[in-house]
Amino acid sequence: MDGSLYNDFEYYPGARGENFRVSVYNAGMLGSAVSWDDRYTPVKTDENAETATCRVRYQNGGASGTTEYNDGVLTYDIGLLRYIGVELVGGALEESALQELAESIALSR
């Protein structure tokens, strides 16, 4: 259970708000078996981009099954209309190192 996200997204001016991230990362946040929308915590934000840490949730065997988590980092950039997600398996980094990783990520052409 490890993965990453990479995709382009469509931006609709005026669509920004508290749940804007769900429209950007819809492929990773709207799944019932896997979701990147647990403990989403922005680390750095500006007018065009946001980077956040999160937990990637795996629901095994439906609602009555087991739930497992991995750490993740998500970044989107409106200017590039692109996002990435990096999943770290098995507590690979301490919380401070996860924050440092998130702060260092920036998308570019």
Q: Read out DSSP for 17-54?
A: STTHHHHHTHHHHS-SSEEEEEEEEEEEE-SSEEEEEE
Q: For residue 16, what are the contacts with CB-CB under 8 A and spacing of at least 6?
A: none
Asked, for residue 23, whether it belongs to a domain, the answer is yes
Question: How many C-beta atoms surround the C-beta of residue 62 within 10 A?
Answer: 8
Nearest to 78 by CA among 5, 16, 3: 16
- pTM confidence score: 0.88
Q: Look at the chain and report how many structural domains it folds into.
A: 1
Asked, for residue 42, whether it belongs to a domain, the answer is yes
pLDDT in 10s for each residue of the chain, 109 residues: 456 788 999 998 777 887 899 999 988 888 778 899 999 999 999 999 999 999 999 888 766 789 999 999 999 999 999 999 999 988 788 999 999 999 999 998 7
Asked, for residue 109, whether it belongs to a domain, the answer is no
For residue 28, the enclosing domain spans 4-104
